[in-house]
Structure 1
């Protein structure tokens, strides 16, 4: 619905706000072209940042896996290319990298301490016993998703910097009340809908397709029906966890590890601070006087028409502006600062709460420290066993013989795709590095020892390769017949619906036309966009068409339960003044946030344009398994800014 108000982004208010962002970029200055030629294999280059094929593949695989889980079926690289998934991921990554590069250029960065403290607050990385951050568990969780700490932490820093920058610029922003009122008028407009459904039974019996027609249907849907390549593999694995019970942890080792981790385990001092922006020194003195009189900081800011920036129980590292951090941590609880010259102008601070820090004690962290030492000793043991295998293999022993000498087992696995999906559509619980190695080497070849992440190592051998191919028609014939007959039924229903809708357009009564088709007209009065969820049974397409149709216009749309509706909007009534006013009051803040979101998106697009971000679609496609002769051109010149979301 926000697309109705996109023109706001061209108003003086929006241009002024976006101008502040652009001016801050212009102060530093940006290059008009890349420094150097850049790596030929890069997928994205944005200023000083780049995305290589492995990074793109990881992001693409995560996105593809989410879609596979949602729809319950594998998505081949060819199908993904056809549906534009590769372009979608490439476009979003290019925009993110561009904005992150621009923030780096103007000096907006998240510190290492800020990152460390944020990670230490994430329950998924806690040791289940100590309930404290555990580095080994953290690395294991990332490895399970195919990520490294470096990649994850870079993305987290980008997100922190982006959010804080936008929050600072957005402080005090308010969209004109007329916009939220206009949104209310749009949402509460009422329509009366009349419709009837074409039932599948009304179009007669669909004849069974012949084998020739099924073969043609298979060829038409070849990309979707072709089975991917499958590989049967044998894997020898060894991991740190297998040896943790065989090592002895000494007190000296524990003391040494604790000394190394003590700073990160200690609890920093936390402060709650309200930051009120001031337009000049006189206004800053006015704010200081009112705060020192005990007035409510929110009320003081409200009278000035600004929004205070809140920091609730944050360590010093969470204050990305050094001047703000210095002032906030010099004041006592309840203290009010003088005028602070911050990165985005003058500000006055009030410290509302101070929580003292606490130095870490070994007694409180012994279990976690011992676990870390045990993990390190087990890793050394893994290295020793791996050396035994490598020495034997290097002297000519095959995989089975070398594994036996090292005391390791080999597991044979059934044929599976590069994504780890077996022929019976189960997902094999294998780390991505094993699958990647299996599909990069030839049949019969035994790999070297490779790392799978989190202290796990493996050797893989490809035992058998089953090339990608269309399945035999007989094996999927029932499904083909069903799909083709459903398509033909839908085509007949649509043709009949179009014929009946044409009669309504010529002036026949919709009730009479429905009766001639053996159907009955249903009527929905007072349908509005605000209450559309109450009429979900109508179907998404019918609802959308009803809100897009003109008064007395007949149209067709898919309805519920495979039916096709012939419909007409009989009346359109504007929203009442009382409902419009109520919506304006209730949605003002939400609408301001949504409109600012559009402006933030415009600034992301500006970053791509200003940095002349380059994308290489060919490299992106080859990274996800598309053959070079099918990957197409690089298409890597200056990329246009992506269209805003919601359009």
Structure 2
């Protein structure tokens, strides 16, 4: 339905905002060209913006990780190169940078205050104790994700600018009612379908194929028949589960006491207070404010009369008070007391609204948790000791199996298995972490990996025992399966040839009934099909027949695939029912159509920005950044097997 109104979306109502947007570009030299040759570390250049190797690699890794999470399996370097993931990321990032540059040029730039306020609202940057934004936590979280504060600031600015542009464009945008009317026509249009089916029994069964025919069939379908490269692997796992038994001894009381004393402050509940702090200029103003608060005047009113804003802390510990020295003084006052305090940031008056006493956790209360922590540490130490023992033995000349035995762990041999975790019987191997496969498929035959972290306290080492190259299985091995596939293809070809001839007869004027009778079939009639009711016919008719039903003209003959046959059909009695239902659908679909127009406007604006800015990209540098071979070398490697044929 949306595809059919695309031409309407290109009319003047949908273009008017893009025209306004385009006019705004005239003043800032959108026709200036980019660099003729990319220089330095630049992979992308869009106006004043550049993207270097490290930034591109970070974008690529993020995109690849997201694709792996969606697929539920690792994407090998070879598979990524075959599917040109570098090009996908390169084009997407170039378009994004061009659009961000365009927004900046036309003056859509978030203020520094807006950016700071936004950053300070992100829960990931809050101190877990104070519940407030913490600069160290902020820097730590960014470092964990390979970002600097400057880079994060730039990303956030671009996102907010895009959001503001989108809100401005979308606010009040609504497609004309004509669009909704067209949607109603599509939804309520009714057609009568008549067809007859040609089944596999409608054509002679083909003779069994010869070896020559099957060999040709293999060559035609080599890509689908080729088995991927597989490997036989020996894995040495170092996991907390296997080390738990070795670390199941009693907990040392001295270690428990030591852990309790170290954690006592964080385990205990600190005293919290609700208080109001009013900054004052001098002692006279402080005494006046204290007197007014003691008489019961509202802190907000007192602060307003002094020309300042009160600072309120709701059930916060002393560490949450911004002015450390003022906080120390405030926590010496009693509930309901008012006092003037001199802090590091100046003089202020504090009123204590309420006090919630702190609670100290005893050793006995904390024992279960602390013992669990200590046992977890013991397991981690045991896992580490096993990895060290294995590494020392292997480095000293012991084989993989011997080193594992000396470390007290067992080996596991699996395979043949593909990089996607599928065995030679086509079964998906469950429970094998993708990182092990990714590591194994980066090694040569006979290669051993380093001890690699797996996450959650686990590690592994893997050895490639054998590589089974990608290959097409021999004819003798797949003859039964191949014969069935060849027979099915020949039957389909015969059915399509017969359907073509019968369709031509209907097109020349013979009735559908007469042509069906000559083929030994009966006409099936499905009256009153609409796009809304077609879903109920999906299983019986299939998408291809339904597609032809709503795409063909009345009286036009056609054939299309049924789930297990081929249908030769016609449609007739095309009609549209007007009335309240049409009006309701027309109005209900305006929102969806408005969103479709908005998306197309956004795509058009992005394409405009990239074209006008003459964005430069360096595909070779992008490939090098993610470890792919140069384009010329990759093409020559691909051409070599073809030439050998």
Q: TM-score, normalised by structure 1?
A: 0.63
CA gap 1:606/1:448 in 2 versus in 1, 3 angstroms: same
Pairing partner for 2:474 from 472, 475, 498:
472
- Give the corresponding residue for 2:558: 555
CA gap 1:5/1:212 in 2 versus in 1, 3 angstroms: same
Residue correspondence of structure 1 range 188-587 to structure 2 within 5 A = 188-239=188-239, 250-254=259-263, 379=380, 382-428=383-429, 429-536=431-538, 537-559=540-562, 561-576=563-578, 578-587=580-589
- Give the corresponding residue for 1:280: none
In structure 2, the gaps of 5 or more residues are: 128-143, 271-355, 638-645
- Give the corresponding residue for 2:167: 168
Q: Secondary structure at the match of 1:523?
A: strand
CA gap 1:162/1:187 in 2 versus in 1, 3 angstroms: farther
CA distance in 2, matches of 1:360, 1:603: 58
CA gap 1:387/1:79 in 2 versus in 1, 3 angstroms: closer
CA gap 1:514/1:574 in 2 versus in 1, 3 angstroms: same
C-alpha contact (below 8 Å) 1:192/1:569 kept by paired residues: yes
1:522-552 per-residue CA deviation (whole Å, 9 max, x = no partner) reads 2222222232213222211011112111121
CA distance in 2, matches of 1:477, 1:103: 57
User: What is the count of residue pairs matched by the alignment?
Assistant: 496
- Give the corresponding residue for 1:313: none
CA distance in 1, matches of 2:34, 2:508: 61
1:272-328 per-residue CA deviation (whole Å, 9 max, x = no partner) reads xxxxxxxxxxxxxxxxxxxxxxxxxxxxxxxxxxxxxxxxxxxxxxxxxxxxxxxxx
CA distance in 2, matches of 1:622, 1:60: 19
Greater Cα shift, 507-516 or 434-443: 434-443
C-alpha contact (below 8 Å) 1:64/1:75 kept by paired residues: no
Q: Secondary structure at the match of 2:234?
A: strand
1:593-636 per-residue CA deviation (whole Å, 9 max, x = no partner) reads 332233334345456545727474997799799998895499xx
CA distance in 2, matches of 1:243, 1:254: 26
1:466-520 per-residue CA deviation (whole Å, 9 max, x = no partner) reads 1221112222211111111111001100111110111111111111111111111
C-alpha contact (below 8 Å) 1:115/1:157 kept by paired residues: no
Displacement of 1:15 in angstroms is 4.0
Greater Cα shift, 514-523 or 16-25: 16-25
- Give the corresponding residue for 2:56: 50
C-alpha contact (below 8 Å) 1:166/1:600 kept by paired residues: no
1:552-603 per-residue CA deviation (whole Å, 9 max, x = no partner) reads 11111112x3211111122322442544322222222232233223333434
- Answering whether residue 190 of structure 2 is matched by residue 184 of structure 1, we say no
C-alpha contact (below 8 Å) 2:195/2:569 kept by paired residues: yes
C-alpha contact (below 8 Å) 1:237/1:408 kept by paired residues: yes
Greater Cα shift, 616-625 or 170-179: 616-625
Alpha-carbon RMSD: 5.0
CA gap 1:620/1:435 in 2 versus in 1, 3 angstroms: farther
Displacement of 1:192 in angstroms is 2.1
Q: Secondary structure at the match of 2:454?
A: strand
CA distance in 2, matches of 1:50, 1:215: 46
Greater Cα shift, 496-505 or 56-65: 56-65
Residue correspondence of structure 1 range 93-132 to structure 2 within 5 A = 94-95=91-92, 98-99=95-96, 102-103=99-100, 114-116=121-123
CA distance in 2, matches of 1:613, 1:459: 43
Larger radius of gyration: 2
In structure 1, the gaps of 5 or more residues are: 69-73, 121-147, 263-357, 635-647
Q: Secondary structure at the match of 1:502?
A: helix
CA gap 1:396/1:230 in 2 versus in 1, 3 angstroms: same
C-alpha contact (below 8 Å) 2:243/2:383 kept by paired residues: yes
C-alpha contact (below 8 Å) 1:193/1:524 kept by paired residues: yes
